[in-house]
Amino acid sequence: MGKDKLRRYAEISDFNNVHELEEGKELKGAWNKIQFANELPVILELACGKGEYTVSLAKLFPEKNFIGIDYKGNRIWRGAKTALEEKIPNVAFLRIQIEHILDYFEDGEISEIWITFPDPQPQESREKKRLTSPRFLEMYKRILKKGGILHLKTDNDALHAYTHEKIAELGLQLHVRTQDLYRSDFADEVLSIKTYYEKKYLAHDKNINYLKFSFQH
């Protein structure tokens, strides 16, 4: 591991807006009380990377709380540091494997989930690793409040098609679907937030897919 990565891992352990692994379990059911000291809705960004989307959403919606989740601490460092430097109080980060998410959030604790440019896990043998597989969707259903919305934004056409298929198979409610976001009528201020990787995809004229859906409780 390079010196920069080691330094960032060391730094985030002292950030008051970052929670890691076992320590994060102490906040289950108490994110509003312990981390944010308010009763505002809590929104997650899964596979948040450097946290650009999490931080941007927090700036746009000060009346909501946002938690970015990723396993790579050197990536989370960037978003967490920006939030601290800019004194953005409604942002936190959680460094965990997303497959353990039920250990960190109580049933019905979350209002909304964003999944932004996750690893598409294209191999058939890795379907269960896809963040929109039935296995993960069942977890999200538990932690989401009734009527809670899920968003998938991806450059990967196959992951978009797979997720759309699962929405139909599982009887979920589809609100919005587009296979070319920036040439659609849906690209508002929120959906036009662009991560580092998204900017790279767009530079190569890659279409961006978007799905908005929810569970029919």
Question: DSSP letters of the chain?
Answer: --HHHHHHHHHHTT-TTEEEHHHHGGGTT-IIIIIISS---EEEEET-TT-HHHHHHHHH-TTSEEEEEES-HHHHHHHHHHHHHTT-TTEEEEES-GGGGGGTS-TT-EEEEEEES-----SGGGGGGSTTSHHHHHHHHHHEEEEEEEEEEES-HHHHHHHHHHHHHTTPEEEEEES-GGGSS---TTTT---HHHHHHHHTT---EEEEEE---
Q: Which of 4, 103, 107, 119 is catalytic?
A: 119
Q: What is the pLDDT of residues 37-62, one digit of tens each?
A: 999 999 999 999 999 999 999 999 99
**According to the model, what pLDDT value does residue 217 have?**
59
pLDDT-derived band at 6 (thresholds 50, 70, 90) equals confident
**According to the model, what pLDDT value does residue 134 have?**
98
pLDDT-derived band at 197 (thresholds 50, 70, 90) equals confident
**According to the model, what pLDDT value does residue 155 have?**
96
**According to the model, what pLDDT value does residue 65 have?**
98
Mean pLDDT of 102-122: 97
Q: What is the pLDDT of residues 96-107, one digit of tens each?
A: 999 999 999 999
Asked if residue 28 lies in contact with residue 105, where contact means CB atoms within 8 angstroms, the answer is yes
Mean pLDDT of 200-215: 96
Token representation of residue 198: 């998204």
Residue 3 has pLDDT above 90, yes or no: no
Third-level CATH fold of 3-214: Rossmann fold (3.40.50)
169: left (phi over 0), alpha (psi -120 to 50) or beta: alpha
Mean pLDDT of 186-203: 94
What average pLDDT does the chain have?
96
Mean pLDDT of 208-216: 96
**According to the model, what pLDDT value does residue 136 have?**
98
Which pTM was predicted?
0.96
107 catalytic? Reply is no
- Residue 98's closest CA among 76, 78, 83, 122? 76
**According to the model, what pLDDT value does residue 216 have?**
83
Residue 83 has pLDDT above 80, yes or no: yes
pLDDT-derived band at 10 (thresholds 50, 70, 90) equals confident
Domain ranges of the chain: 3-214
Q: How far apart are CA 163 and CA 132, in angstroms?
A: 6
Residue 1 has pLDDT above 70, yes or no: no
